[in-house]
Structure 1
Amino acid sequence: MTATILRPGGSTAPALLEPEPKHHASPSRIIGVGTAVTDASYSQRTLLDLFRITDPRVRSIFLNSAIERRHLTLPPRDSEGVFRHESQKELLAKHKRLALDMGARAVRTCLAGAGIEPADIDYLCCVTTTGFLTPGLSALLIRDMGIGPGCSRVDVVGMGCNAGLNALNGTAAWSMAHPGQVAVLLCAEACSAAYVMDATMRTAVVNSLFGDGAAAIALLADPPDTAGPAPGELPGDSAGSSAGPRLLGFASHLISDAIGAMRYDWDDDQHKFSFYLDPDIPYVVGAHAERVVDRLLHGAGLRRSDVAHWLVHSGGKKVIDAVRVNLGLTRHDLRHTTGVLRDYGNLSSGSFLFSYERLLQEGRIRAGDIGVLMTMGPGSTIETALVQW
């Protein structure tokens, strides 16, 4: 703030005045979480039998994936029990149906845990990579769930498995800028609507991995008169675990040399989009994990040994192992990540929230505990967030 004062000789110059005291913004905190999946669940062996896959190489990929079951919505079968080809148009319709159903259920569960009604939502961010909608998923959910028409909204489409943390960063920023208002982030991935079935190893890897699922979290920043520590400071132990963790910071790393390692291509033979995963990408991600995690922690004056809870994207057995080895973590540290992979497969952008939900259900969080959230996906990108209960 400045004022103009009269100098000797009649000249004027600005003089600095003491700034008015300002209340710092309170960090956004997670106040609710909810997940949902599709109805049917299949073991990996059952899927091989249903699709009549006999190639021993493909069978090995399925059976050595560290996945036991996945929720999927399979195509209709003909009179001989053979699955019918689904066109890209049919897959997009499937995505819309599944994403709306799972998404609404995940949001309702999230809100119920926080004691909030749909009409209380002030901001809705929807993330998906498994289909394209215009108008977006957010507009359809606002209409269908009775969310107020004045709700601010945004759709994050096509970013892939890392997108949940990308969107959480923006949602937390909105929450901090609007204290006392409810922000909801939804990740809805109908992976059954994003596949190609052929005899190639490329599609075998993808088809062995992904499952249907949606996850939602609600965020709230306290008004300034109840704000916690200033930016850059960690909350004290008085911030109990029952209040939900505060989001203290984010860090991201783009591995530009691997920008094409995870991508959608158009398959001219199948007339639909086909997802590609480079077989070396787990090791590339693992090799860069230390850099982004240490940057995230360094900004808060922390070390890896200070982190009590690690919630990493369930990207696949190889990527989880690569991250674990490069960060010096134990299998116990990643028990929720591997448990979600075992029971659901890779749920794309919402996987880390399934792990977060399991951590809460475990009931071992203590006030003051530090947690790191990590996702990885196309770009190739590693996203991280720092939380404290």
Structure 2
Amino acid sequence: MNNTKIVKVAKVLPEYCRDTKEILPFVELWLQGQEERFKRKVIKIFEGAAVDKRYGIMPIEEVFLATSFEEKNTIYVRETKKLGAEVLRKALSDAHWKPETLDYIITVSCTGIMIPSLDAYLINALGLKQDVVRLPVTEMGCAAGISGLIYAHNFLKSNPDKRIALVAVESPTATFQLNDYSMANMVSAAIFGDGAACVLLSSEEEAFGPKIIGEEMYHFKDATHLMGFDLTNHGLKMILDPLVPETITEHFPMIVHPFLEKHGSGIDKVDHLIFHPGGRKIVQTVEELFGKLGKNIDDTREVLRLYGNMSSATVLYVLERFMERGIPEGEQGLLLSFGPGFSAQRVLIEW
């Protein structure tokens, strides 16, 4: 019996914030020893990234200091615990749920390493019950916000009358590589920001919110090289293949249409596109593809502009905008994100 409702989405931002134009002098300073042509190209990438500002768990000065992996990861662990507790508290308070009524907790993060995972600390910080079921999702990158929704739905589908919290906390600034002058590092530095989000879901009969109609993952064959991290002595080094937008275009019809058909829907019936803003190029690619189908992804573009790509949490920021809108009953939304694997993940919801 399928009765999964999305009850509440909350977000929390780290304390440090800079406009992109304020970051450019730091970038110029960092690139001092590089040749002029390369410097101009990198500044252009920052200026054309369609990100106006971004938030961070550390001040911009610290991001551009040559700290070790250990030091950056220590900041990541400290701030992730703080942001995770804050966003979960906010979501529970907004939904008028007591922490001890949660049956499951899923945490999502790929931008640092901590064992025990974040969920263990949240159990203590918020006083969750002792038999709460925990699931950390750590290596699915940008797709993991939707992965978390898929796992939550599968938990709730087979367990009526339960409540679940999905908490995503990401800090790509903690992964910035000072001694890596590859295009992948430049592009990721230009598009990424930090943030936290929480989604509360329920299979209770009286729960109110859009219902999950269906979910599915789509795995691209032999495409593990397209996106991810290499773990080096300096930390997590970004892998980002320029062929990603092209690969998405190629697979797009297979990703969207069979999935919607399977759940008795079609692109003409989908009123709202809740797409993860991976970066300007991916947003443009998907915008063109959906544009041909008569749809827009304005909210996706706006989230990218205001916060940058916060990895797994970003699609949940887009979802929050729709949740706050008072959407008429019967309208459908399609959540879509891409991540390492390479994979596309989809969730269909109905208000």
Length-normalised TM-score, structure 1: 0.83
**1:118/1:146 contact within 8 Å kept:** yes
Which residue is 2:227 aligned to?
262
Which residue is 1:375 aligned to?
337
Please state if 1:346 is matched with 2:346. Answer: no
Please state if 1:276 is matched with 2:232. Answer: no
Q: Which letter does structure 2 place at the counterpart of 1:243? A: F
Residue 298 (structure 2) aligned to one of 332, 335, 352:
335
**1:36/1:215 contact within 8 Å kept:** yes
Q: How does 1:345-364 map to 2 (within 5 A)?
A: 345-363=308-326
Residues of 2 paired with 1:289 and 1:354: CA distance? 23
Cα 1:77–1:359 change in 2 (3 A) is: closer
- Where do 5+ consecutive residues of structure 1 fail to align? 1-24, 227-241
**1:251/1:295 contact within 8 Å kept:** no
Which residue is 1:205 aligned to?
187
**1:37/1:71 contact within 8 Å kept:** yes
Residues of 2 paired with 1:332 and 1:97: CA distance? 41
**CA deviation after TM superposition for structure 1 residue 76, in Å:** 7.8
Which residue is 1:303 aligned to?
266
**CA deviation after TM superposition for structure 1 residue 112, in Å:** 1.9
Cα 1:76–1:368 change in 2 (3 A) is: closer
Please state if 1:252 is matched with 2:217. Answer: yes
The alignment yields a C-alpha RMSD, in angstroms, of 2.0
Give the % identical residues: 29
Which residue is 1:222 aligned to?
204
Residues of 2 paired with 1:35 and 1:93: CA distance? 23
Length-normalised TM-score, structure 2: 0.92
Residue 55 (structure 2) aligned to one of 51, 71, 74:
71
- 1:160-185 per-residue CA deviation (whole Å, 9 max, x = no partner) reads 10011112111111112222121111
Structure with bigger RCO (C-alpha 8 Å, 6+ apart): 2
Query: Bigger shift: 347-356 or 276-285?
Result: 276-285
Residues of 1 paired with 2:74 and 2:314: CA distance? 23
**CA deviation after TM superposition for structure 1 residue 246, in Å:** 0.6
- Structure 1 runs of 4+ off > 3 angstroms? 73-78, 327-332
Which residue is 2:35 aligned to?
none
Aligned length: 342
**CA deviation after TM superposition for structure 1 residue 77, in Å:** 5.0
Residue 182 (structure 1) aligned to one of 156, 163, 174:
163
Which residue is 1:387 aligned to?
349
**CA deviation after TM superposition for structure 1 residue 283, in Å:** 2.1
Equivalent residue of 1:148, what SS?
A: coil
Residues of 1 paired with 2:289 and 2:246: CA distance? 9
Please state if 1:160 is matched with 2:160. Answer: no
Equivalent residue of 2:77, what SS?
A: helix
Please state if 1:169 is matched with 2:150. Answer: yes
**2:195/2:313 contact within 8 Å kept:** yes
Which residue is 1:62 aligned to?
46
Query: Bigger shift: 143-152 or 339-348?
Result: 143-152
**CA deviation after TM superposition for structure 1 residue 106, in Å:** 1.5
Residue 89 (structure 2) aligned to one of 108, 111, 118:
108
Equivalent residue of 2:142, what SS?
A: coil
Which residue is 2:6 aligned to?
30
Please state if 1:122 is matched with 2:103. Answer: yes
**CA deviation after TM superposition for structure 1 residue 272, in Å:** 2.2
Higher share of residues assigned helix: 2
**2:175/2:237 contact within 8 Å kept:** yes
**1:35/1:105 contact within 8 Å kept:** no
Residue 121 (structure 2) aligned to one of 140, 143, 146:
140
Equivalent residue of 1:41, what SS?
A: strand
Cα 1:169–1:77 change in 2 (3 A) is: closer
Q: Which letter does structure 1 place at the counterpart of 2:334? A: V
**CA deviation after TM superposition for structure 1 residue 330, in Å:** 7.6
**CA deviation after TM superposition for structure 1 residue 331, in Å:** 9.2
Residues of 2 paired with 1:174 and 1:112: CA distance? 23
